[in-house]
Structures are given as structure tokens and as C-alpha cells.
Amino acid sequence: MRPFLNFARIACWFVLRQWRLRLWRSLAVIVGVGLGASVFLSVRLAVNASVEAFSQGMDAFTGTASLAVAAPGFRVDDSLVGRLLRLPGVTQASPVISAYVKDDSGNPVRLIGVDPLLDRAFRGFSIAGSTGEAGQGVNWMDLMAVPGTVLLGKPLAQRLGVEPGGHFTLHHGGREASFTVLAVLAPEGLAGVEAGNLAVADISTAQEFLGLVGKVDRIDVKLAPGVSADSVQGILGPGVHAAPPGEARESGLAMIQAYQLNLTVLSFVSLFVGMFLVYSLVSLDAASRRKELAVLRSLGAGPGTVSALFLFQGGMLGALGWLAGMPVAAVFTGWMLQGVSSTVNNLFVRVAVQGASLDPREIGLSLGVTVAVSLLASIGPAVRAMRVSPREAMSIHRQEESHSASAGRFWALTGFALAASSWPVSTLPSPTGFPLPGYLAIFLLFTGLALLSPFALRLTIALAAPLARLGGVPAELASAQAGRGGNRAAVSVGALATAMALFLALSTMIHSFRASFVTWLDQTVTGDLFVRPANAELNGYRDTLPPELTEWLAARGDVEVVPYLRRYLTLGNTAYQFEATDMPGLLEYSRFSVLERLPDAEALLLSGQGVAIAEALANQAGLKAGDRFQVQVGAAEVDAVVAMVVRSYRTRGGEAYYDLTAFTALGGESGAGGLRVYFKDRSGDLTAKAETLRAQMLAEPWGPGVEGVPGTGLHTLVTGIFDETFAITGVLLVIALGVAALGVCVTLTVRVLERMRQINTLLAVGASRGQITAMVLWEAVYLGLAGEIVGVIGGLALSVIIIYVINRQSFGWTFVYLLDWRALALSLPLILAAVLAAGPPACRAALSRTPALILRER
């Protein structure tokens, strides 16, 4: 213990004294590290909030069931409940209905229908403010006895402004009904679903209001110990399955966690860039204190002790940076929460996020990663420091670090090898949704770029010789200095290159994605008016449109209608959307972007012998053209060949298109879950015509129960969601750039301070302050150019990995590679602006003292 305490005392003196001498530099590094740590932590907390909200909601809804009996995409007969309860081995069974309906303001409300008696064994609920089962004068059994009574979650009750005994109206499927609030739920059990934005009704009330007489969404089952699901499956009909209730939870969580991993890696880049800052400062300290280190060595400090001092310094920078970043993380988290939860809702699953919790594990993780990264950055300088010989204490002259050419070549070759290995590593097999080789490849690429930076700087200076001649003497002096900058200068290049590579790669990815996305929208998601039941998306498209609506549209004579029936199913562990559609209409009015196909694909699709599947489904389920596609969809057993694999960017799983007529012939449902409407006369303002048609449709008796969106409106809405999804990415990029710019600022200032004698000699022999300033700025330009070159090369490589590996493995889709020339063109002025903005502090440092003071002999 005593040696440790002694070391700690010496280390604190050693580090803190130096920081006092270099206060602003140290603070700059701490700020840079803090920014990176705050981004890392806030991203994880924001996504964790969605994960938690989803998990808690699912757990509250799932309760303690052993199995859930359901017909995926459909509903089950409620007569199964009694049959299940009489099965040996089934101890409890409880029916559940869940649907999103609308309040008077059009906001979605989750309505859950249960049998309060049977459900007691699974979920349970209690009334707020009650003692025991019945509240003060409230008999919750009235849920069963009195039609139209509900229990409300507190947030919903507050939003609607109702209290127990009050009334409110809900709307669904063209129906509206008044409900009486029996009581408000206490915050436990079912009240955790949808963060309390729910109404709990008796199963009979839910069936009556939703028009689901005889049907329920699922039946939760508890089995006696040792009883398997097979005993239950035996009495279930075709299309009805008994599965562990956690499956839906796990597949939803997997989607969010893939997104979380992507964002985490993105946010880690800021920390990675901050690593360069730590390296720069620790490296400078190690170099400038050689004599001091030699004295320490001659007094008996071992090499290990010396290196430990610098590792301690690196660790302290990391820890203090993390500490400084925490208030920033609090602000970032609050901002990101809305964006992240909105993205999760739009792309993956419905979540109701109330706030982020300070998970000690995440806080510990961010501290650990930040300190680890800082320690990693300090290893190089620490190793160099431990090689300082005690003899240097006797030397009159200051020793410089020697940079051998062979060592430089070695690191350049190593960097090249690492960067070159990134592509083959990225193509290694990985588990679905977690492209670990892809992320490893990114790490190899960035590390390789960092190691290549010194070589890149020298190369840039050589290539920029004409520029030096253009800039005159300051530019030539700057190029000479930059070339002799050694590792510290190259560190700035590495930081800039990393940030620039990420900027270019993500810009290209988003640009490519958007282009392919818009093409898909224009070619495949066609329709002048899209019609579907109200809340169809939230309710999983399980409701069908009134047949009178389709007849009304057909009777008009001026439109063609392409109906479809959509069901959310799973193929193995892969969630997908089965869409039975009018195939002749779809092929006439839409075009698929085909990735692979059979020669007679269209004929197969039209005859019901073939199915067209989305790329995401193909990649995640391991299907290709020519494979069999065999699924049970309700009462229909679909057995078709994969006729084509097409590009598609639908969220919540890729889709499989099958002919509706063939589906109905197999025993599938005949109703329409949605319609694509096309005007026969393509002249005129189709959007205006669609708006008129929509208004007419909504004025009909079925109007309140349907939604209609003009095609252009849908495209605008969907594109807006797309852009909003990547807003967070943009912010993370800007932060990474900012940290890199900070790095340049620190490096330049350090470089200037190291050469104060030389700079002031120039001033003494007649150089003007303007020329000195120009020299410093030219050095910044060279660093920026080197960063740009390495960054562009790295960015192009990174964009390929992201588009063809990461996206494919995370989400199953690819898109056409389109270089974002605008981003590429913007990158050079951006990087130059960053480095030039970093210049003034260095210039001020260069001109802060008079030459006489600097050049005075000691």
C-alpha cells in the first residue's frame, strides 16, 4: 500500500505541475475528450431509454405467461379459451385483445381488453389510491358487468382531462363510443404498457367496440411444470401457434439493438478522435521533459515507473475529460431522446419513452471506455519515455527524440497493411443483425489511417511543392517545418483524416441510400391515393376495409383500384410482411427494382406460383431466386417459388408479394387491408384530384374509419421520416469534426511553442508579424491537406464497407453506390476552414512575447 501511495503522490505532482504550466492545452484536451465521452454516453442512454421502454412495455403486456397462442397476422377464436382451460397441463389461460384506437383529437390510444378474472394470474392491476381490491366506492368488477367502462392509465387520464366517473369518446373503424372511467390504474402491472397511455376494458367491451365478436388477439397460457408446448399445439388449428411470449419481445429488441450498435460505433468515433488529442499532449510532455525524466532515472526511478507516470497522465486526462463531459451528456441525452425514440418508432417498433434513466452500468461503461482509450493513446509516449537514459541528465544540450527512417517506414507499412485488411475482414461471416467483422474492419481502417498519417503528411508536402512556391517564403518555411513535425504533427493529420473519412463515408451512404430510397418510392410505392383503415400501421394491418368502399370506388369508373392484404409474420426468426395483392395491377402500375430473377418471373407471379421478396427478407432468411417459399398465412398454405428478389426499404421487415386471387383460392382472406388507387386519366393535377377523391371518400358513412393519403403526400411524409432519421448522424459527425479541429488547434499551438526560439529569431532578423502568421497558417493548411487526402481515401473505403457490409448485415438491404460529390467538394473547404480556425490561437502564442525575452541567453 505504501509504495502505491508514494507513487500516487509523485504522479499527482508530476502531472499537475505540468498541467499548471500548460493549462490551456490541457484544458483543450480535457474538453475534446469530454465531448467524445458525452456523445458516447448520451447516445447509449438515449437508445437504452427506447430499449427499456420497449422491454418494460412488452413485459407488462406479456406478464407471466409460459406461452402465447396466436395466429400471426390474424386473430384467434375465443372459443379456444375454454378448450385450453380444460387441457391437462394448462393451469391458467387468459384472452387478450389489443388495438390502437383514436380519441377525439385523433391521437392514438391503446385499448386492451382482458377478462379481469382470468387475467389476474398473468398481469394484474390495481386501482390508484385504493386499499386492497376495491377502491373507495369503486368496484372494479363493474368492468365486467357494465358495458363501456374502462380503467385508464394515469397519463392518459391526464391527457384526456377525465377523472373516475367521467366520460370520453373513442373512435375505431368508423364507429365511435362513449366510455365511462371506472378508475385510474395504479402504476404497476398493466399500467406499464404504453407508458400508461392505455385504457383497460373487459374483453366483452373491447369485442363490442372493436367489432371483434368471437375473436381475440391472443390467449396467454400457463403450463404446469414439466408440460411442453406440444400438448397445447395439438388442439390448435392451422395457422394458430403456441410460442413463448418472449419471441415478439426478442425480435423487437434485436431490431433496436442493431440500431443501438450502429449509433454506438458512430459515437465512439468522437472518442477515437479525442484519443489523438491525448496522444498529442502526452507525447509533447514526454518529449519536453526528457531531462527531468533522465534526472528521475538517475535518482533510481525505474523505466516502469517513468512509463507509469505518463500512463497515469493519460488516464487522468481521460477521467477528467469524462467528468467534464457529464454535464454536456445530460444536455445531449435530453436532445437525442426525442430523435432516437422517433426513429425507433418510425423504423422498428412502437415505444413510449418517458425519459432516460441514469444506468450505472452505462455510466461505468462510458468511464471505462474513455479512460481505456486515453490509456491506449498514452502507451506510445510512455514507452518512449521509459527509454530515456539517465545519462541525459548529465548532458548540456537538450536531447531530441530520434525518429528513425526505418521505424517510420515500418509504421507506414503496418498502417497500409491494416487499412488494406479491412475489406477482407469485413466480408467474414457474422451473426444476423450484428456486423461485428464490419465494425472490426472499420477499426482496422481507422488505425491504419492513423499509422499512415506521418507518411501521408510527408507525401502531401512533397506533392504540394508548387503550392509552397505560390505561397512564397512563409509557405516554404511552413512546408519544411511540417515535414519535420514528426509524430505530433501527424497526430493532427490522423484526427482530421478520421473525422473527414467519417464525414465523407456517411454523406455518401446517406446520399446513396436516399437516391435508392427515392427511386424505390417513385417506382414501386406508386399510387395516386393510398387508402387503408384508420390506425392500420399501428394495428398491424389486421383490419380490413369495408367492402362498400371498394365497390364505391369501382363504381366511379375513373379509377383503377389495386387492393392488398398485409400481414406481419415471421419466417423462422425473421420478421417480414406478407402482402397478397392484385398482382396484375401491381405489375402494371409499379416497377420493381430487381436484384435477381427467374426467366419467367412475371408469369410465375401472375399465376400464383411465384412470390417476389424484398432484398432484406432474402438476406435475413437466406433466400434467393429459385428457392421455395412455404408459409402458413392464416388458413392458406402458400407454397411458391421465389421468382424475384427486389429492392425495398420498408421498415419492420422486408415484404413478400403474392397474388391475391391465388391467395384467396388457397383459403386466405378475401378482404382488402388497403388499396392503391390510380386515376385512369393521367392528365391534370393528380394530387388535386387525389385530394378531392379523398374528401369525397371521407364524407361517406365509412369515412371516419379509413385513412387516405395522396401519393405525393405519402412520398413527402416518408422522405421526411427518412431525413429525420439521419439527423442524429449529422450531429454526431459535426461533433467529431469539432473534436478534430480542436486537435489541430492544440497541435499547432504546441508546434509553435516548441519553435518559439526559431520563430523569434525570424522576427529578430526582420520577419514581420504577418509573415509569421502566414507561416503558421500555411502549416495548418498542409496539415489540412494531408488530412483531406487520407480522409478522402479512407472515406471512400469506409463508404464501401458501410454500404455493402454494415447496412446489409444490420438491416438486410443495400443501395446503389452514389458518391456524394457535393460532400466531397465541401470536404476540402470544410477541412481548411477547420484548420484555419485553429490557427489564430497558435498565431497569438507565436507573437505573445518579444524576441528579446525569448532569445536572451540563460
Confirm or reject binding of residue 119 to other proteins (CB under 8 A): no
CA distance 96 to 68: 10
Tell the smallest beta-carbon distance from residue 127 to other proteins (Å).
Answer: 14
Q: Is 204 a binder of other proteins (CB under 8 A)?
A: yes
Of 22, 25, 23, the residue nearest 746 (C-alpha): 25
| Beta-bridge mates of residue 632 | 637
Q: Are 51 and 257 in contact (CB under 8 A)?
A: yes
What is the DSSP-derived secondary structure letter of residue 666? T
Residue 117: CB minimum distance to other proteins, A: 5
| Contact pick of 59, 142, 176, 596 for other proteins (by CB under 8 A) | 142
Q: In the complex with other proteins, which residue's Cβ is closer, 65 or 306?
A: 65
* Residue 155 beta carbon to other proteins: minimum distance, rounded to whole angstroms: 28
- Residue list 741-770, contact with other proteins (CB under 8 A): none
Tell me the C-alpha to C-alpha distance, in Å, between residue 837 and each of 453, 500, 748, 759. 21, 16, 11, 21
User: CB-side exposure of 650: number of CA atoms within 13 Å?
Assistant: 22
Q: Which of 8, 21, 145, 480 binds other proteins (CB under 8 A)?
A: 145
Does 82 engage in binding with other proteins (CB under 8 A)? Answer: yes
Is 118 or 490 the residue whose CB approaches other proteins more closely?
Answer: 118
Burial (0-12, 13-18, 19+ Cβ within 10 Å), 131? exposed
Looking at beta carbons only, is 225 or 300 nearer to other proteins? 225
The partner residues of 152 in beta bridges, in order of sequence, read 184, 199
Options 7, 27, 55, 120; binder of other proteins; rule CB under 8 A: 120
CB of 223 to other proteins, least distance (A): 10
Rounded to whole angstroms, the Cα distance separating 486 from 525 reads 56
Q: Which stretch binds other proteins (CB under 8 A): 14-22, 28-36, 82-90, 238-246?
A: 82-90
Q: Tell which residue, 121, 120, 125, has the closest CA to residue 66.
A: 121
Residue 176 binds to other proteins (criterion: CB under 8 A): no
Which 769-828 residues touch other proteins, going by CB under 8 A?
none
Least Cβ distance, residue 119 to other proteins (angstroms)? 11
CA distance 496 to 504: 12
Please name the residues in contact with 275: beta carbons below 8 A apart, sequence gap of 6 or more.
373, 374, 376, 377
* 331 binding other proteins? (CB under 8 A): no
Find the helix or strand (DSSP H, E) in which 92 lies: strand 90-103
Residues 442, 439: Cα–Cα separation, whole Å: 5
Q: Can you read off the three cell numbers belonging to residue 156?
A: 392518459
Phi, psi at 272, each rounded to 5°: -60, -45
Residue 122 in grid coordinates: 398473468
Amino acid at 384: R
Q: Which listed range, 173-181, 200-208, 609-617, 747-755, lies at the site for other proteins (CB under 8 A)?
A: 200-208
Least distance to other proteins, CB of residue 95, Å:
9
Residue pointed to by grid coordinates 439521419: 726
Region from 12-20, 201-209, 438-446, 633-641 binding other proteins, contact rule CB under 8 A: 201-209
658-676 burial by CB neighbour count: b if 16+ within 10 A, else e?
Answer: bbbbbbbebebbeebbbbb
| Of the residues 16, 21, 117, 825, which one makes contact with other proteins according to CB under 8 A | 117
Query: Torsion-angle region of residue 13: left (phi > 0), alpha (psi -120 to 50) or beta?
Result: alpha
Single residue of 55, 59, 130, 144 touching other proteins by CB under 8 A: 144
- Classify strands 241-243 and 706-710 as parallel, antiparallel or unpaired: unpaired
Residue 394-433 contact track with other proteins, rule CB under 8 A, x = bound: ----------------------------------------
* Cβ closest to other proteins, residue 80 vs residue 777: 80
Query: Which of 287, 288, 284, 299 is CA-nearest to residue 390?
Result: 299
Q: x-or-dash pattern for other proteins, window 42-81, by CB under 8 A? A: ------------------------------------xx-x
Q: Which residue has the cell 472518442?
A: 271
Interface stretch with other proteins, choices 140-148, 240-248, 670-678, 695-703 (CB under 8 A): 140-148
Cβ contacts of 775 within 8 Å, gap of 6 or more = 474, 475, 477, 478, 481
SS3 773: helix
**One-character DSSP codes across 197-239:** -EEEEEHHHHHHHHT-TTEESEEEEEE-TT--THHHHTT--TT
Query: With binding defined as CB under 8 A, does residue 224 bind other proteins?
Result: yes
The span of 56-64, 207-215, 322-330, 731-739 binding other proteins (CB under 8 A) equals: 207-215
For residue 552, the surrounding DSSP H or E stretch is helix 547-556
* One residue of 106, 137, 161, 225 binding other proteins per CB under 8 A: 225
Pairing mode, if any, of strands 67-70 and 218-223?
Answer: antiparallel
- Residue 238 Cβ vs other proteins, minimum distance, rounded to whole Å: 22
**Choice from 165, 214, 304, 720 touching other proteins (CB under 8 A):** 214
Instruction: Kindly state whether residue 136 participates in binding other proteins, applying the rule CB under 8 A.
Output: no
The separation between CA 379 and the C-alpha centre of its own chain, rounded to angstroms, equals: 32
Q: Is 655 in the site for other proteins (CB under 8 A)?
A: no
**Contact call for residue 165 and other proteins (CB under 8 A):** no
| Residue 592, all three cell numbers | 420493381
Residue pair 124/189 in contact (Cβ under 8 Å)? The answer is yes
Decide: 418 and 450 in contact? Cβ < 8 Å.
Answer: no
The residue range among 102-110, 117-125, 359-367, 709-717 that interacts with other proteins, by the rule CB under 8 A, is 117-125
| 180 touches other proteins by CB under 8 A | no
| Residues 86-115: x where in contact with other proteins by CB under 8 A, - otherwise, as a string | x-x--x-----------------------x
Interface residue with other proteins, options 141, 177, 367, 383 (CB under 8 A): 141
Least distance to other proteins, CB of residue 179, Å? 15
Rounded-to-5 percentages of helix, strand, coil across the chain: 60, 15, 25
Residue 599 sits in the site that holds other proteins (CB under 8 A): no
Cell of 344: 425507433
Nearer Cβ to other proteins (146/603): 146
* Residue whose entry in the numeric block shows the C-alpha cell 367496440: 209
End-to-end CA distance of the chain: 43
Q: Is residue 207 close enough to count as binding other proteins by CB under 8 A?
A: yes
| CB 236, min distance to other proteins, A | 17
Helices (H), 631-768: 660-665, 686-699, 711-725, 727-754, 756-764
| Residue range at the interface with other proteins (CB under 8 A); choices 102-110, 198-206, 535-543, 581-589 | 198-206
Rounded to a whole number of angstroms, the minimum distance from the CB of residue 425 to other proteins is: 54
Candidates 28, 41, 46, 118: give the one binding other proteins (CB under 8 A).
118
Q: Which stretch binds other proteins (CB under 8 A): 42-50, 85-93, 304-312, 451-459?
A: 85-93
**Total residues at the site for other proteins (CB under 8 A)?**
31
Closest CB 140 distance from other proteins, rounded Å: 10
Nearer CB in complex with other proteins: 87/714: 87
Query: Which range touches other proteins (CB under 8 A), out of 199-207, 387-395, 752-760, 812-820?
Result: 199-207
Figure out which of the listed residues 10, 27, 55, 85 binds other proteins, where binding follows CB under 8 A.
Answer: 85
The number of beta carbons lying within 10 Å of the beta carbon of residue 739 is 28
CA distance 377 to 661: 65
CB of 228 to other proteins, least distance (A): 15
Residues that bind other proteins (CB under 8 A): 78-79, 81-83, 85-86, 88, 91, 115, 117-118, 120-121, 133, 139, 141-142, 144-147, 202-204, 207-208, 213-214, 224-225
